[in-house]
Chains A and B, each alone.
Chain A
Amino acid sequence: MAANVTIRIQQADFDIGCEIAALTEGRIDIGAVVTFSGICRGSEGDEAITALTLEHYPGMAEAEIARHTETAMSRWPLTGLTVIHRVGRIEPGENIVLVLAASAHRQAAFQAAEFLMDYLKANAPFWKREEKPEGNSWVDAHSHDDDAAARWTKS
């Protein structure tokens, strides 16, 4: 059966249960689905965050995610992948991103989900702006995100 790959960039929230059901519906070759969901925090260190606004590069964001899903599909025996990234204004407690990786066995699903998240963080063209009581600011990139993505190229 062909692998089931879904990539969406949207303002609306997503329902994790519905997305898992869509990924596994009608298949009996899937033994593992690993779910990563990224959620908006209400603080960063000691600073309160009122909301995040996610900006993206339409066209390139989809293309970049597609390149990474193709790499993951070629690297692990996956039956399906779902990547959903929200854009626009997101308040603490709301979903930001969803990665689902499905496979016959858990190891491939765990690794593919982690690989995709590491690559999305470092390479997918999205930018977070924080709304705070004292004013708004763009989130600085962390070098540990680049390091996390780079470790997948070493082995």
Chain B
Amino acid sequence: MKVKYFAWVRERIGKSEETVEPPASVRTVDDLIAWLAGQGETYAHAFETPRVIRAAIDHAHVKSDTAIAGAREIAFFPPMTGG
């Protein structure tokens, strides 16, 4: 699946998107955050406070316990500050 990062999540990881293949045990958005946090120092820094990270699946906001099965694109970002 394709994963995208925005704002300081993007800056900390050092890339705006990538394709990842997590193991089958990674079922929810929370699981994916925990798995990504284990992918290196930059990821650990980006996801050090999981509760502030917001997620979207295929361009719609989702809660952290949402299943990721079937997702084409998952995005992680900080709380939004537009407007």
Residues of A at under 8 Å CB distance from B?
Answer: 38, 54-57, 59-60, 63-64, 85, 96-97, 117, 120-129, 138-141, 145
A38, B83: Cα distance in complex, Å: 7
A-B contact count (CB 8 A): 71
Q: How many residues of B contact A (CB 8 A)?
A: 16
Q: Contact at B56–A125, with CB atoms within 8 Å?
A: yes
Q: Is the CB of A60 within 8 A of B56?
A: yes
Interface string of B64-83 (1 = CB under 8 A from A): 00000000000101111111
Contact of B81 among A57, A85, A127 (CB under 8 A): A127
Q: Is the CB of B83 within 8 A of A129?
A: no
Contact of A127 with B7 in the complex, beta carbons under 8 Å: yes
Please state if A127 and B83 are interface contacts (CB–CB under 8 Å). no
Q: Given the known A-B contacts A127-B6, A129-B7, are A59 and B59 also in contact in the complex, defined by CB atoms under 8 Å?
A: yes
**CB <8 Å contact, B75 and A123:** no
The residue of chain B having its C-beta at the shortest distance from the C-beta of A63 within the complex is B59
Q: A64–B59 Cα gap in the complex (Å)?
A: 8
Q: Is the CB of A139 within 8 A of B75?
A: no
Name the contact of B56 in the complex, choosing from A57, A127, A145 (C-beta under 8 A). A57
